[in-house]
Amino acid sequence: MSIDLWLYDTSKPHSDFPDNVATMKMRELSLFMRTKILASLLGKKADKLVFSTSADGKPHLENNEGLRFNVSHSGTLWGMAVSYDATEIGFDIENERPRKYMSKMMETYFHHKEFLKYKSLPEQLERTAYFYTLWTQKEAYAKYLGLGLKYKFSADAFPAEIPDELNILSGVVLTALPQGSTSYLSLACSALMSPKNLIFLGDTSLNVRITD
């Protein structure tokens, strides 16, 4: 089984982008990139792809030959995870940014154990890393389940492990991240993956942190 990740910094030129990328809203670009990559993978014309969404809003492709995908974007980053053997996946990216209500968000929306751990961390930098790590894990897990906002972040306490490198999956297309940026990525899937340096949350999640 393999899962491929595409990740782009859309603020930088790339031959995969349309000519009018500078004037496109992220949502528009996201739909373009999603269609372009999936059409290429399936060897079909873009206009032959038929997308639909589940009752809870998870997008999928009709007549997909076992292909599953999940898209995320944050700031100027856009990414998509793809699996090829009907392995369900959920994927999330977040760009770190100051959040005035971070502690309140932890207290209100996360598991009590997670909030206690957050509070126990001595430095704000550690707290921020923990917050974004957990957020992306839970968001990816919620998207994997196909529940989105219906999944209550307080339902489960997650361990938050951060492996050292992203460059661990086949087919990864990485562009350079902006200088000094810190971004967090999590992928949740329904099967164990073989690369030894993927870290799993239970049996369903991996989390990767990219620092420039």
* Residue 120 phi, psi dihedral angles, 5° rounding: -75, -15
Number of H helices, E strands in the chain: 4, 9
With binding defined as CB under 8 A, does residue 149 bind another protein?
A: yes
With binding defined as CB under 8 A, does residue 100 bind another protein?
A: yes
Least distance to another protein, CB of residue 47, Å: 22
Binding residue for another protein, selected from 12, 14, 99, 112, defined by CB under 8 A: 99
With binding defined as CB under 8 A, does residue 148 bind another protein?
A: yes
Least distance to another protein, CB of residue 120, Å: 21
Spatial distance between the Cα atoms of 163 and 172, rounded to a whole number of angstroms: 16
Task: Return the number of other C-beta atoms located less than 10 Å from residue 10's C-beta.
Answer: 20
With binding defined as CB under 8 A, does residue 104 bind another protein?
A: yes
Task: Let me know: does 163 contact 208? Beta carbons within 8 Å.
Answer: yes
Going from the C-alpha of 172 to that of each of 5, 80, 150, 190, 194, the distances in angstroms are 5, 10, 30, 20, 16
Binding residues for another protein restricted to 46-75, rule: CB under 8 A: 57, 73-74
With binding defined as CB under 8 A, does residue 9 bind another protein?
A: no
Task: Return the number of other C-beta atoms located less than 10 Å from residue 144's C-beta.
Answer: 26
For residue 195, what are its two tokens? 């690369």
Point out which span in 38-46, 112-120, 146-154, 192-200 binds another protein (CB under 8 A): 146-154
With binding defined as CB under 8 A, does residue 105 bind another protein?
A: yes
Q: Which residue in the block uniquely carries the two structure tokens 């942190």? A: 209
Least distance to another protein, CB of residue 82, Å: 21
Spatial distance between the Cα atoms of 105 and 95, rounded to a whole number of angstroms: 17
Least distance to another protein, CB of residue 74, Å: 7
With binding defined as CB under 8 A, does residue 21 bind another protein?
A: no
Note the residues at the interface with another protein (CB under 8 A). Answer: 25-27, 57, 73-74, 94, 99-101, 104-105, 108-109, 135, 139, 148-150
